[in-house]
Amino acid sequence: MRTRISRVLVTDAGSSSLRLTVFGDGGEVLNEHHSESPPGEGALGALRQLLREGPAPTAVGHRIVHGGSEMRSHTVLDDDVRVRLDRLADLAPLHVSQALTVVDAARDLLPEVPHVVCFDTVFHAGLPAAAREYAVPAGWREAYGLRRYGFHGLSYAWALARTAELLGRRPEQLQLVMVHLGGGCSACAVIEGRSVDTTMGFTPLEGLVMSRRSGSLDPGALTWLLKRKNVSADEIEDALNHKSGLLALSGTSGDTRDLVRSRAAGDERAALALDVFTHHCRRGIAEMAASLSRLDALVFTGEIGEDQPEVREEVCARLSVFGLTGGLRPVVAERPEIVSAPGARVPVVVVPTGEAQQIDLETRALLVHGRPARSSTPGSPPGG
């Protein structure tokens, strides 16, 4: 498909939020809507209001968190692809089902413009087997697709390209550890522009401690709760996704801004929550660095990564084994910038999150050129 795309509507439906953004062909925001409530039936009304306000989009790009094993590239949406998307809903029911509600509403309202679906898992689709496979029975892996998929890929693709520009190098020349810290948190190892390891796995629940999600824990604890304490699977799923993480540790908030203030006022539980959070960030960074032969930069992105300098400082100050140090500039980043001291052995880079911008780029690249945007193409691991 080849066409001129002047305005792209990007839809980003989370489990409890909806972001709609119309981008111009220079990347400028022409209109936007943001709601901190589940999309549901309200998605249709939000879309109608946005379209009434204008300007009219000439294409739509949709964020889908999980592409499973069959959706390994960003794809132009048609009826066949829409059927395939239904099969993905079970893999991330908190995210995909909500996103499909918005996809359907947008297709109903804009049937004449092309739609593209962009997957967070695509960036990690070329993970090497050692990083991808779980050590579980082959029947589970083959029949259920049980493997590490990785997430936050659209965020990582955006941050990778901005980091390369900032450092004056091509993505293919860099070995990076990238950390996305927000409501969901993960770390990723990148070699030559490709993901070679990541902390999130089959679902966005694995890995680092998050705002309200637990991150990794002993699977034996879950079977113990199921068998010995008669805690239902539904109760476990709800607790691990909505009532754990920083919220559970602090007892008050899953927002690091609140916890930094509470810690300063002497709240010991807030201090514990931040200690556990930053410890797991350091652990995740160290895990990812084990997949690299050198570390060219540490990159922070996501809402916490860009606007919580206290967290960045506490993470880096205790990673001297990797050539990182504290003393970072305590800025709230509004643009990509290096926050480490001049001449630091390993630069620390902050890139404001750009998932919507990356979807805009991917949508245009696919519709205009028939290929993914730069730094977003999965494939064989370097040297593979």
Q: Where are the extended beta strands (E) located within 192-243?
A: 194-198
Compute the distance between CA of residue 123 and CA of residue 136 in angstroms, rounded to an integer. Answer: 24
Q: What does the DSSP assignment read for 24-46?
A: -TTS-EEEEEEESS--TTHHHHH
Query: How many residues are there in the chain?
Result: 384
Burial 176-196 (b: 16+ CB within 10 A, else e): bbbbbbbbbbbbbbbbebbbb
Single out the catalytic residue among 25, 90, 120, 238.
120
Compute the distance between CA of residue 244 and CA of residue 336 in angstroms, rounded to an integer. Answer: 31
Burial 7-32 (b: 16+ CB within 10 A, else e): bbbbbbbbbeebbbbbbeeeeeeebe
Q: Which secondary-structure segment (H or E) carries 154?
A: helix 153-167
Residue 235 vs residues 74, 125, 204, 243, 299: alpha-carbon distances, Å: 34, 31, 18, 10, 36
- From the number of C-beta atoms within 10 Å of its C-beta (0-12, 13-18, 19+), residue 107 rates as middle
Q: What does the DSSP assignment read for 337-372?
A: EE-SPTT-SS-EEE----HHHHHHHHHHIIIIISSP
Residue 69 sits at the vertex; the CA angle it makes with 123 and 280, to the nearest 5 degrees, is: 55
Phi, psi of 187 (to 5 degrees): -130, 155
Rg (CA), the chain: 20
Q: What does the DSSP assignment read for 70-134?
A: T--S-EE--HHHHHHHHTTGGGSTTTHHHHHHHHHHHHHH-TTS-EEEEETTGGGTT--HHHH--
The answer to whether 90 is a known catalytic residue is no
> Which pair of structure tokens corresponds to residue 246?
């920083």
Distance of CA 177 to the CA centre of its chain: 14
Please give the positions annotated as active site.
120
